[in-house]
């Protein structure tokens, strides 16, 4: 048995794989944030609440409408995406052009309201969502038992991340989006409906958060507070990656998952805090983040 740093290699491999899976999850969550900030310059503190909404839509649609997991994968992002669009149109629109501070505070307030309402109605204890049958059980990889569902998480998260990146960086729609946020007046002069694009973008970011929520429902307790603790970690990921960069968010998410995974083996008490240490170190050396551009 090969030992590396006092830990058997097989154990380390298992932990790294788990770290990678968590990283894919972080990447998915940070992606929505990165899009909203990178393109709309809005610091979306409601992201955790939107993630929670996604998980709850999944749970409630099963309980009350009999909607199964596979439908929920589309239903939840759609629903929360619509909610996101409403938030942008009726609330965030009013403060475009103001200091970033206000977007942050507004979304922070929204998060408080949404989470508080859910606590009032559903209580604080999490509810459990049944694992979809097709994904029960797991693969015996030799060095560990990997639940099928976790494999699904990393695969689906990476696919969504890649598709999103491609859409934004490589398609015409993406280029309209990028141009529209850099110079809205010019784009409007070309006949592009910039406000609609902005609303759709925020909605898409919200949908991404909700998708992460659906992925989370079978493996984490679905509770109103589930997004609150994740939020600052996800923000840290986006900042380390570079606040405007889509690729930065994805890569950093994966990287952070790995680093966190290793921390859980060697110094588990610090697992929640290591990401902030990384953030301080990165920002000292590369002030705009790993992939960011200095504005």
Partner 1 sequence: MSEAIKTQVQQQRVRVERERRIAASRRNKIFFAVFIAIALVAPFGIYPVFLMKLLCFALFACAFNLLLGYAGLLSFGHAAFLATGGYITGFVLTEYSGLGTELGILAGTAASAALGLGFGLLAIRRQGIYFAMITLALAQLVFFMFMQSSFTGGENGLQGVPRGYLFGFIDLKDNLNMYYFVLAVFLIGFLIIQRTIHSPYGQVLKAIRENEQRAISLGYNVDAHKLLAFVLSAALTGLAGATKTVVFQLASLTDAHWHMSGEVILMTLLGGVGTVLGPFVGASIVVTLQTYLSSGPMGEWVHVILGVIFVLCVLMFRAGIVGWFSKLIQKNFK
Partner 2 sequence: MKGLRKAISLIVAAGLLSSTAQAAISDDEIRIGYLADMSGTYRDLSGPGGLEALKMAVEDFGGQVNGKKIVIFNADDLNKPDVGANTVRQWIDEKNVDVITGLVATSVVMAVNKIVEQENKLALISGSASSSLTNEHCSPNHMHWVYDTYALSNGTARAVLEEGGKDWFILAADYAFGHSLEADITKVVETGGGKVVGKVRHPFPSNDFSSYILQAQGSGAEVVALANAGADMVNALQTASQFGLTQSGQKLAGMVVFLNDVHSMGLDVTQGLMLTTGWYWDMNDETREWANRYHKRVGRMPSMTHAGVYSSTIHYLNAVKETDSDDSQVVRAKMIETPINDMFAKNGKLREDGRMVHDMYLAQVKTPAESKSEWDLYKILRTIPADQAYRPLAESQCKLIKN
Binding residues (CB under 8 A) for partner 1: these are 43, 91, 94-95, 98, 100-102, 105-106, 108-117, 119-120, 232, 235-236, 239, 243, 269-270, 272-273, 276-277, 279-280, 283-284, 287-288
Q: How many residues bind partner 2 (CB under 8 A)?
A: 44
Binding to partner 2 in span 124-153, by CB under 8 A: 124-128, 130-131, 137-138, 144-145, 147, 149-150
Q: Which entry of partner 1, partner 2, none binds 288, CB below 5 to 8 A by partner kind?
A: partner 1
> What is the C-alpha separation between 253 and 251, in angstroms, rounded?
5
* Options 10-18, 45-53, 186-194, 204-212: segment touching partner 2 (CB under 8 A): 10-18
Q: Report in angstroms how near the CB of residue 115 gets to partner 1 at its nearest.
A: 7
Q: Is 165 in the site for partner 2 (CB under 8 A)?
A: no
Residues pairing with 147 in the sheet: 138
- How distant, in Å, are the alpha carbons of 152, 211, 225 from that of 127? 22, 18, 12
Binding mask 238-277 for partner 2 (x = CB under 8 A): -----------------------x--xx--xxxxxx----
Residue 149 contact, options partner 1, partner 2, none, Cβ 5-8 Å cut-off depending on partner type: partner 2
Q: Considering CB distances under 5 to 8 angstroms, the limit depending on partner class, which of partner 1, partner 2, none binds residue 181?
A: none
Residue 229: closest CA among 52, 31, 56: 52
What sign results for the dihedral spanned by CA atoms 13, 213, 158, 231? negative
Dmax (CA) for the chain in angstroms is 67
The separation between the first and the last C-alpha atoms of the chain, rounded to the nearest angstrom, is 51
* Interatomic CA distance for residues 18 and 104, integer angstroms: 32
Residue in the structure block whose two tokens are 């994968």: 73
175 binds partner 2 (CB under 8 A): no
The rounded distance, in Å, linking the Cα atoms of 275 and 273 is: 5
Is the Cβ of residue 108 or residue 176 nearer to partner 1 in the bound state?
Answer: 108
Give the span between the Cα atoms of 43 and 95, in whole angstroms.
12
* Two structure tokens written together for 135: 């994904």
Contact 31, 161 (CB under 8 A): yes
Q: Does 22 bind partner 2 (CB under 8 A)?
A: yes
Q: Evaluate whether 41 touches 170 at the Cβ level (below 8 Å).
A: no
Nearer to partner 1, 218 or 292 (CB): 292
Q: Is 229 in the site for partner 2 (CB under 8 A)?
A: yes
Is position 47 an interface residue for partner 2 (rule: CB under 8 A)? no
CA distance 109 to 8: 47
Q: Which positions touch partner 2 (CB under 8 A)?
A: 8, 10-11, 14-15, 18-19, 21-22, 116, 119-120, 123-128, 130-131, 137-138, 144-145, 147, 149-150, 219-221, 223, 225-226, 229-230, 261, 264-265, 268-273
């Amino acid at each position: 048995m090969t030992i590396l740093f006092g830990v058997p290699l097989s154990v380390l491999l298992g932990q790294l794989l788990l770290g990678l899976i968590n990283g894919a999850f972080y990447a998915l969550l940070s992606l929505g944030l990165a899009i909203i900030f990178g393109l709309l310059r809005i610091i979306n503190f409601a992201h955790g609440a939107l993630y929670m909404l996604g998980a709850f839509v999944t749970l409630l649609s099963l309980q009350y409408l009999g909607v199964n997991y596979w439908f929920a994968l589309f239903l939840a992002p759609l629903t929360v995406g619509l909610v996101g669009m409403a938030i942008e149109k009726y609330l965030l629109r009013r403060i475009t052009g103001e200091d970033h501070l206000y977007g942050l505070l507004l979304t922070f307030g929204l998060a408080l309201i949404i989470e508080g309402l859910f606590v009032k109605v559903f209580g604080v204890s999490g509810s459990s969502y049944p694992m979809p049958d097709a994904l029960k059980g797991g693969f015996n990889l030799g060095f560990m038992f990997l639940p099928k569902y976790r494999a699904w998480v990393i695969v689906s998260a990476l696919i969504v991340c890649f598709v999103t990146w491609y859409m934004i960086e490589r398609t015409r729609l993406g280029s309209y989006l990028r141009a529209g946020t850099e110079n809205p007046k010019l784009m409007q002069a070309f006949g592009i409906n910039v406000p609609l694009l902005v609303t759709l973008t925020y909605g898409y970011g919200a949908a991404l958060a909700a998708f992460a929520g659906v992925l989370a429902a079978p493996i984490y307790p679905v509770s109103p507070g589930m997004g609150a603790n994740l939020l600052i970690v996800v923000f840290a990921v986006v900042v380390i990656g570079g606040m405007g960069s889509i690729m930065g968010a994805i890569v950093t998410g994966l990287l952070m998952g790995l680093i966190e995974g290793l921390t859980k083996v060697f110094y588990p008490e610090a697992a929640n805090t290591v990401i902030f240490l990384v953030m301080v170190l990165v920002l000292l050396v590369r002030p705009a983040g790993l992939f960011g551009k200095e504005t």
